[in-house]
């Protein structure tokens, strides 16, 4: 056991694009192994990076309280128990939880998101990638919020991301026609070849609005029935333009806007929602906490049957934590963004 606990703290609230100066590296004392009943001391192995974390840095009312200034940045992680007062999670076992940007964390049974043991034999990255919150988000967003029906034409933005690629392939599993929007030929190729999407739009080289229209005409469909949107801004506006009557727009996130210093104007065409009787609905995964087991059963089945392709983009090194986070907003990650801090012992 080392004597110190390296941490990346939130130094200040970002103004616009998040930068390295918004964080502070600190060597804190190692947390005490003198634990209360139910608690565990965890050594972090892998950290998860999600666009929603950017929202947690702002001092604005949201579905979770903001990360406090001077606290380690909040993040999902997988770690190994090195001291335990919890029989379900003995020393040496792998656990997941909201352990944050630090080497070691005490996870209390009273925490909002307490540590959970990984099922025996689970590769340590999978609870953060395909068996993680991004897949659950895709599941509830598409099936519950989006009220997906077999035969629907489905549009997914941020389609090569962890949530987007899961949503797109779940729609394929449900016998829908799926159009994905992603940035760059490599991502588009993966969506075509591995995820088997019906059509892919490269937003870096194509006009999204025009291409959705062309593809709908080629597919001879009346428009988009379900639009699973991770992006917001112009992408959302382009999708609204081509929604079918009674279409559903699932607002999962707005990565195009998270780092705006001033909020950008919204879509100019909301009147389309009136004349075409369209529903646009936001959600967060924690709305569905009571149904996680049901969803995870389906997801595990699909993954084990090889029906959902996924990629993990695993960076390495504790020093690279902020830089790895920034990859999300530059669209650099190929698949679920993770970072490895240590190997299990």
Q: Does 232 bind its own copies (CB under 8 A)?
A: yes
DSSP state of 140: I
Q: Are 198 and 171 in contact (CB under 8 A)?
A: no
Neighbour count for residue 297 (Cβ, 10 Å): 10
Using CB under 8 A, pick the residue from 29, 263, 343, 345 that binds its own copies: 263
Q: Does 158 bind its own copies (CB under 8 A)?
A: no
Using CB under 8 A, pick the residue from 150, 275, 289, 330 that binds its own copies: 275
Q: Does 257 bind its own copies (CB under 8 A)?
A: yes
Distance in angstroms (rounded) separating the CA atoms of residues 111 and 343: 25
Q: Give the nearest distance from C-beta 63 to its own copies in angstroms.
A: 5
Q: Give the nearest distance from C-beta 244 to its own copies in angstroms.
A: 11
Q: Which residues have a Cβ under 8 Å from the Cβ of 231 and sit 6 or more positions away?
A: 157, 158, 181, 253, 254, 255, 256
Q: Give the nearest distance from C-beta 246 to its own copies in angstroms.
A: 8
Q: Quick one: 38 or 282, whose CB is closer to its own copies?
A: 282
Distance in angstroms (rounded) separating the CA atoms of residues 275 and 31: 59
Give Cα separations from 102 to 43, 47, 112, 326, 345 (angstroms): 9, 9, 18, 17, 18
Per CB under 8 A, the segment of 1-9, 18-26, 277-285, 293-301 that binds its own copies is: 277-285
Q: Quick one: 127 or 158, whose CB is closer to its own copies?
A: 158
Q: Quick one: 184 or 282, whose CB is closer to its own copies?
A: 282
DSSP structure string for 40-52 = EEEEEEEEE--TH
Using CB under 8 A, pick the residue from 266, 317, 323, 342 that binds its own copies: 266
Per CB under 8 A, the segment of 35-43, 123-131, 176-184, 232-240 that binds its own copies is: 232-240
Distance in angstroms (rounded) separating the CA atoms of residues 212 and 40: 50
Question: What are residue 41's DSSP bridge partners?
Answer: 83, 106
Distance in angstroms (rounded) separating the CA atoms of residues 263 and 273: 22
CA distance from start to end of the chain = 12
DSSP structure string for 199-226 = EEEETTTS-HHHHHHHHHHHHT-SSEEE
Q: Give the nearest distance from C-beta 169 to its own copies in angstroms.
A: 22
Q: Does 17 bind its own copies (CB under 8 A)?
A: no
Restricted to residues 33-92, the positions that interact with its own copies (CB under 8 A) are 55, 61-63
Using CB under 8 A, pick the residue from 27, 186, 281, 319 that binds its own copies: 281
Per CB under 8 A, the segment of 37-45, 181-189, 204-212, 275-283 that binds its own copies is: 275-283
Q: Quick one: 202 or 209, whose CB is closer to its own copies?
A: 209
Q: Quick one: 36 or 271, whose CB is closer to its own copies?
A: 271
Contacts with its own copies by CB under 8 A lie at 55, 61-63, 232, 236-237, 251-254, 257, 263-284, 287
């Amino acid at each position: 056991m080392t004597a110190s606990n390296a941490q990346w703290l939130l130094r200040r609230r970002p103004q616009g694009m998040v930068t390295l100066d918004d964080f502070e590296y600190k060597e804190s004392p190692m947390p005490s192994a003198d634990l209360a009943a139910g608690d565990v001391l965890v050594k972090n192995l892998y950290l998860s990076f999600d666009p929603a974390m950017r929202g947690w840095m702002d001092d604005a009312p949201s579905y979770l309280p903001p990360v406090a200034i001077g606290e380690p940045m909040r993040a999902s992680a997988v770690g190994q128990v090195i001291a335990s007062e919890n029989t379900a999670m003995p020393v040496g076992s792998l656990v997941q939880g909201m352990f944050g940007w630090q080497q070691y964390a005490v996870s209390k049974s009273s925490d909002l998101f307490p540590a959970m043991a990984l099922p025996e034999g689970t590769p340590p990255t999978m609870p953060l990638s395909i068996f993680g919150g991004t897949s659950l988000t895709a599941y509830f967003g598409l099936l519950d919020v989006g009220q997906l029906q077999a035969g629907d034409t489905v549009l997914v933005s941020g389609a090569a991301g962890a949530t987007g690629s899961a949503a797109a392939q779940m729609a394929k599993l449900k016998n829908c026609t799926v159009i994905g929007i992603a940035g760059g030929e490599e991502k588009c190729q993966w969506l075509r070849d591995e995820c088997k999407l019906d059509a892919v739009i490269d937003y870096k080289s194509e006009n999204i609005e025009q291409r959705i229209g062309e593809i709908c005409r080629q597919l001879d469909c009346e428009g988009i029935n379900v639009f699973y949107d991770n992006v917001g801004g112009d992408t959302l506006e382009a999708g609204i333009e081509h929604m079918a009557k009674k279409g559903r727009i699932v607002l999962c996130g707005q990565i195009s806007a998270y780092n705006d210093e001033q909020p950008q104007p919204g879509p100019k065409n909301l009147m389309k929602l009136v004349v075409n009787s369209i529903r646009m609905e936001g959600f967060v995964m924690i709305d569905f906490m009571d149904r996680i087991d049901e969803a995870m059963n389906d997801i595990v089945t699909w993954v084990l049957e090889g029906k959902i392709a996924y990629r993990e983009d695993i960076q390495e090194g504790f020093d690279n934590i902020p830089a790895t986070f920034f990859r999300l907003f530059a669209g650099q990650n190929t698949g679920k963004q993770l970072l490895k801090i240590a190997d299990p012992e």
